[in-house]
Structure 1
Amino acid sequence: MNAALPAVTAERLSGDDSNGGSQGAGTGARATTVPALSFAGRKLYRHGRPHRIIAGAIHYFRVHPGQWEDRIARLAAMGVNTLDTYVAWNFHQPNKGQAPDFSGWRDFARFITLAGDAGLDVIVRPGPYICAEWDNGGFPAWAVSDAGMVLRSSDPRFTAVVADWFDALLPVITPLQAANGGPVVAVQIENEYGSYGDDAEYLRWNRAALQSRGITEMLFTADGGTDYFLDGGSLPDTWATATLGSRGDEADAVWQRRRPGEPFFNVEFWNGWFDHWTENHHTRGAADATAEVRKILDLDGSVCLYMAHGGTNFGLTSGCNHDGVIQPTVTSYDSDAPIGEDGRLTLKFHAMREAFFAAEGRELTPVPEALARPAAPLPASVIELAPGTGLLEMARAGGAVTSVKPLSFGELGLDRGMVHYTATAVLPPGGGTIRLRGLHDRAYLWIDGVPAGVLTDGTAGSGLKVEHSGGPVVLEILVENQGRINYGPLLGQDKGILGGVLVNQRYIFHWEQRALNLERPLEELLELGGGAALAGGAPPPAGPGWFHGEHHLAEPADTFLALPGFGKGFVWVNGFLLGRHWEVGPQVTLYVPAPLLRAGTNRVSVLELERGGTRAELREEPELGAAGPAHVEDLG
Structure 2
Amino acid sequence: MPALTTTSDGFLLHGEPFRILSGALHYFRVHPDQWTDRLRKARLMGLNTVETYLPWNLHEPTPGTLALDGLLDLPRFLRLARAEGLHVLLRPGPFICAEWDGGGLPHWLTSDPDIRLRTSDPRFTDAFDRYLDLLLPALLPYMAASGGPVIAVQVENEYGAYGDDTAYLKHVESSLRARGIEELLFTCDQTDGDHLAHGTLPGVLATGTFGSRVDQSLARLREHQPEGPLMCSEFWIGWFDHWGGPHHGRDAADAAADLDRLLAAGASVNIYMFHGGTNFGYTNGANHHHAYAPTITSYDYDAPLTESGDPGPKYHAFREVIARHAGVPAEPVPSPAPKLPRTEVELTHRLALFRQLGHDGVRSADPVTADTLGRRAGYVLYRTTVSATGPGLLHFEGGVGDRAQVFVDGAPAGVLERERYDETLPIHLPRPGARLDVLVENMGRVNYGPRIGVPKGLLGPVTFNGEALRGWDCHALPVDDVPPALAFTPAATPTSAEPAFHQGTFEVAEPADTFLSLPGWTKGQAWVNGFHLGRYWNRGPQRTLYVPAPVLRPGTNDLVLLELHGTTTPRAHLVDTPDLGPTTP
Calculate the TM-score normalised by the size of structure 2. Answer: 0.96
Paired with 2:225 and 2:105, the residues of 1 have a C-alpha distance of: 31
* 209 and 407 in structure 1: CA distance in 2 versus 1, 3 angstrom threshold: same
**What is the match of residue 65 of structure 1?**
32
Secondary structure in 2 aligned to 1:552? strand
- Any conservation in 2 of the 1:221–1:233 contact (CA below 8 Å)? yes
TM-superposed CA distance for 1:154, in Å, is 0.7
Residues 1:478 and 2:433 aligned together: no
CA contact 2:529–2:558 (8 Å) conserved in 1: yes
Which residue of structure 1 lines up, in the alignment, with residue 365 of structure 2?
404
Other-structure match for 2:10: 43
Contact 1:412 1:515 in 2 (8 A): yes
Q: Contact conserved, 2:245 with 2:541, CA < 8 A, in 1? A: yes
2:241: which partner in 1? 275
Give the one of 300, 304, 314 matched to 1:348.
314
Which residue pairs with 2:334 in the alignment?
372
Aligned pair partner of 2:52 in 58, 71, 85: 85
- Partner of residue 585, structure 1: 540
Structure 1 Cα separation of the partners of residues 346 and 563 of structure 2? 15
Unpaired segments ≥5 residues, structure 1:
1-33, 630-636
Maintained 8 Å contact 1:386/1:541: no
| Residue 482 of structure 2 corresponds to residue 522 of structure 1 | yes
Give how far 1:126 is off: 0.6
Match runs of 1:431-446 below 5 Å: 431-446=392-407
- SS of residue in 2 equivalent to 1:584: coil
Matched, 1:53 2:20: yes
Matched, 1:112 2:52: no
Deviation of the 1:610 alpha carbon: 1.0
Secondary structure class of the residue paired with 1:437: coil
| One of 412, 417, 422 as aligned partner of 2:378 | 417
Equivalent residue number for residue 633 of structure 1: none
Question: Does the residue aligned with 1:618 lie in a helix, a strand or coil?
Answer: strand
Q: Hey, what's the Cα distance between the residues in 2 that align with 1:543 and 1:387?
A: 14
Give the alignment partner of residue 351 of structure 2, picking from 389, 406, 417: 389
The equivalent of 1:324 in structure 2 is 290
2:507 corresponds to which of 532, 552, 574: 552
SS at match of 2:539: coil
Aligned-residue offset at 1:427: 3.8
Q: Deviations over 1:186-221 (max 9, x none)?
A: 000011111111111110000000000000110011
Map residues 57-456 of structure 1 onto 2, 5 A cutoff: 57-97=24-64, 99-360=65-326, 362=327, 367-368=331-332, 372-394=334-356, 396-397=357-358, 399-427=360-388, 429-456=390-417
1:414·1:517 contact (CA, 8 Å) conserved in 2? Answer: no
The aligned residue for residue 573 of structure 1 is 528
Tell me which residue corresponds to 1:507. Answer: 468
CA offsets per residue over residues 21-78 of structure 1, 9 Å max, x none?
A: xxxxxxxxxxxxx112222222222222222111001011011110100000000001
State the alpha-carbon separation in 2 of the partners of residues 458 and 144 from structure 1.
21
CA shift in 2, pair 1:539/1:344, >3 Å: closer
C-alpha deviation, 1:489, in angstroms: 0.7
Partner AA of 2:152 in structure 1 = A
Cα distance in 2 between the residues matched to 1:241 and 1:52? 14
Q: 1:564 to 1:43 in 2, by over 3 A?
A: same
Secondary structure of 1:345's aligned partner: coil
Could you tell me whether the CA contact under 8 Å between 1:436 and 1:461 is conserved in 2? Answer: no
**Gapped regions of structure 2 (runs ≥ 5):** none
Measure, in 2, the Cα distance between the counterparts of 1:584 and 1:513: 28
Q: Is the 8 A contact 2:396 2:460 kept in 1?
A: no
TM-score (normalizing by structure 1): 0.89
CA 1:460–1:472 in structure 2 vs 1: closer, same or farther (change >3 Å)?
Answer: farther
Q: Which amino acid aligns with 2:30?
A: V
CA shift in 2, pair 1:191/1:149, >3 Å: same
Asked if 1 retains the 8 angstrom alpha-carbon contact of 2:61 and 2:67, the reply is no
Of 554, 563, 568, the residue aligned with 1:608 is: 563
CA displacement 1:287-344 (0-9 Å, x = unmatched): 1111111121111111110100111111111111113332111111111000111111
* Residue equivalent to 1:19: none
The amino acid across from 2:19 in the alignment is R
Aligned to 2:297, what secondary structure does the other structure show?
A: coil
Return the alpha-carbon distance in structure 1 between the equivalents of residues 393 and 182 of structure 2: 64
Identity value in percent:
45
1:620 aligned residue: 576
**Aligned mates of 2:261, 2:465 — CA distance in 1:** 59
Residues of 1 paired with 2:488 and 2:47: CA distance?
A: 49
CA distance in 2, matches of 1:348, 1:54: 15
Residue 500 of structure 1 deviates from its aligned partner by: 2.1
* 8 Å contact kept, 1:314–1:578: yes
CA-atom RMSD in angstroms? 1.8
State the partner residue of 1:16.
Answer: none
Question: What is the SS of the residue equivalent to 1:601?
Answer: strand
Q: Is the 1:437–1:460 contact (alpha carbons within 8 Å) kept by the matching residues of 2?
A: no
More deviation in 137-146 or 238-247?
137-146
CA deviation map 1:126-158 (0-9, x unaligned): 111111111111122113322211111110111
| Distance (Å, rounded) in 1 between the aligned partners of 2:316 and 2:362 | 56
**Per-residue deviation, residues 405-436 of structure 1 (Å, max 9, x unmatched):** 11111111111110000122344654234334
1:476 and 1:523 map into 2 onto residues whose CA distance is 21
